[in-house]
């Protein structure tokens, strides 16, 4: 009933492949090899505009590699990455219109909160007034109004996470990618933040591709869950669908259905 409440349907599972015309991100047969074993093995994945997709899988299953390929930090050995229908081969990181937030969020310790949030705006050549307005707007959005002058060192873990999120959102990326975004936080804070994030993304219409090894996080955040195993997609579907109908022994075990 929890999932039915959240999806607002309670009915049959949502189809897991969005229509091509709506695909903001399209991965076609993407393969990445480090040595013999592929980290990504012919992965096909589509993300529709405004969709929140969570990739769930154990450590080493290829989640971070997937995000790095989309961001342009890692080259694919085979396959194609399309954003808004355009092949990204040769397109550098800063021209892809994607935002990437890592697990260890890495705020710049020598800059204050505003300096951190404004980072991507400065890179884009935004003027001072635009920067100031946008920074305050973002800090309000993540629940830290007026925190611009604070030093990074005075922030709690949860506050740092919010600043990192504001920084990632600042240049209005068409695709926001989160790599274990709440990994460093304790469980109760994580559960609260994940609900806030979902509301925030819905409000902004942000398209999100997040990866996590934490199924609670994935199920609470996602419109669609993608389960990865050894560089392949083991299952993709609505949270309800994946939860109720694990497609394989691996997925069932990973979700904790041990018997």
Kindly indicate which of the ranges 55-63, 106-114, 139-147, 188-196 contains the residues binding ligand ADP, using the contact rule CB under 6 A: 55-63
Check binding of 65 to ligand ADP (CB under 6 A). yes
Residue 215 as a binder of ligand ADP (CB under 6 A): the answer is no
65 touches, from ligand ADP, Mg ion, none (C-beta below 5 to 8 Å by class): ligand ADP
What is the closest distance, in whole angstroms, from the C-beta atom of residue 34 to Mg ion in the complex? 13
Q: Which of residues 114-153 bind ligand ADP (CB under 6 A)?
A: none
The residue with its CB nearest to Mg ion is: 64
Residue 158 sits in the site that holds ligand ADP (CB under 6 A): no
Computed over its alpha carbons, how large is the radius of gyration of the chain? 18
Burial 13-32 (b: 16+ CB within 10 A, else e): beebebeeeebbbbbbebbb
64 binds Mg ion (CB under 5 A): yes
Place of tokens 């937030």: 101
CA distance 213 to 166: 23
State yes or no: residue 212 binds ligand ADP (CB under 6 A).
Answer: no
- Rounded distance, CA 115 to CA 47, Å? 32
Q: Is 161 in the site for Mg ion (CB under 5 A)?
A: no
Residue whose CB is less far from Mg ion, 143 or 183: 183
Min dist. Cβ of residue 4 to ligand ADP (A)? 30
> Cα–Cα distance between 49 and 22 in angstroms, integer?
6
Q: Which two tokens stand for residue 129?
A: 């007034």
Return the residue of 24, 41, 43, 63 that touches ligand ADP, per CB under 6 A. 63
Q: Determine the 3-state secondary structure of 74 from DSSP.
A: coil
Q: In whole angstroms, what is the distance from residue 132 CA to residue 5 CA?
A: 39
Residues that bind ligand ADP (CB under 6 A): 34, 39, 57, 59-65
């Amino acid at each position: 009933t929890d999932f039915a409440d959240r999806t607002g349907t309670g009915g049959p599972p949502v189809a897991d492949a969005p229509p091509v015309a709506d695909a903001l991100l399209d991965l076609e047969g993407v393969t990445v090899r480090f040595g013999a074993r592929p980290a990504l093995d012919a992965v096909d994945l589509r993300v529709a505009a405004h969709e929140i997709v969570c990739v769930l899988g154990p450590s080493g299953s290829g989640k971070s590699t997937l995000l790095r390929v989309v961001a342009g930090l890692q080259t694919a050995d085979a396959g194609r990455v399309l954003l808004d229908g355009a092949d990204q081969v040769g397109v550098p990181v800063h021209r892809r219109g994607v935002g990437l937030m890592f697990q260890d969020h890495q705020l710049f310790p020598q800059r204050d909160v505003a300096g951190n949030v404004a980072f991507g705006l400065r890179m884009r050549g935004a003027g001072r007034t635009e920067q100031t307005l946008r920074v305050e707007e973002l800090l309000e959005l993540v629940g830290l109004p007026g925190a611009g002058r604070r030093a990074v060192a005075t922030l709690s873990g949860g506050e740092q996470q919010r600043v990192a999120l504001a920084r990632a959102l600042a240049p209005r990326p068409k695709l926001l990618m989160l790599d274990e975004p709440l990994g460093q936080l304790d469980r109760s804070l994580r559960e609260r933040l994940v609900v806030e994030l979902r509301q925030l993304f819905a409000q902004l219409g942000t398209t999100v591709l997040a990866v996590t090894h934490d199924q609670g996080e994935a199920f609470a955040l996602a419109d669609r869950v993608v389960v990865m195993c050894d560089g392949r997609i083991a299952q993709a579907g609505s949270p309800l669908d994946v939860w109720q109908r694990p497609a394989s022994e691996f997925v069932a075990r990973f979700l904790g259905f041990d018997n």
